[in-house]
Amino acid sequence: MAGFVVSYHPFFSPTPRLYSPSPSPSIPSVTQCKGWGRGVLMLPLKCLPKQTPDSDTASSSSSSPSISAYSWCAGLGGLGFLETTYLTYLKLTNSDAFCPIGGGTCSDVLNSDYAAVFGVPLPLIGMAAYGLVTILGLQLAGKNVPFGIGETNGRLLLLGTTTSMSAASAYFLYILSTQFPGASCSYCLVSALLSFSLFFTSLKDFQLKDIQKTVVLQLCIASLVVATLSTSYNTLPVSTSLAEIDLQPFTVEITTQSSPLALSLAKHLRSIGAKMYGAFWCSHCVEQKQMFGREAAKLLDYVECFPNGYRKGINMDKACSAARIEGFPTWVINGEVLSGEQEFSELARASGFDFDSSSQT
Sign of CA dihedral 220, 222, 225, 226: negative
3-state SS class at 257:
coil
The predicted pLDDT at position 107 comes to 72
The predicted pLDDT at position 26 comes to 44
3-state SS class at 242:
helix
Residues of the chain with pLDDT under 50: 1-66, 238-243
Cα separation of 23 and 5, whole Å? 18
Cα separation of 190 and 79, whole Å? 10
Going by DSSP bridges, is the β-strand pair 330-333/336-339 parallel, antiparallel, or unpaired? antiparallel
3-state SS class at 14:
coil
Query: What Cα–Cα distance (Å) separates residue 113 from each residue in 176, 236, 304?
Result: 12, 7, 19
Cα separation of 218 and 320, whole Å? 43
The predicted pLDDT at position 28 comes to 46
The predicted pLDDT at position 202 comes to 87
Beta bridge partners of 246: 311
The predicted pLDDT at position 147 comes to 65
Tens of pLDDT, residues 257-266: 999 999 999 9
The predicted pLDDT at position 62 comes to 39
Question: Which 8-state DSSP code applies to residue 112?
Answer: S
The predicted pLDDT at position 96 comes to 74
Tens of pLDDT, residues 156-178: 888 899 999 999 999 999 988 88
Cα separation of 235 and 265, whole Å? 44
Going by DSSP bridges, is the β-strand pair 275-278/38-46 parallel, antiparallel, or unpaired? unpaired
The predicted pLDDT at position 20 comes to 44
The predicted pLDDT at position 239 comes to 41
The predicted pLDDT at position 84 comes to 94
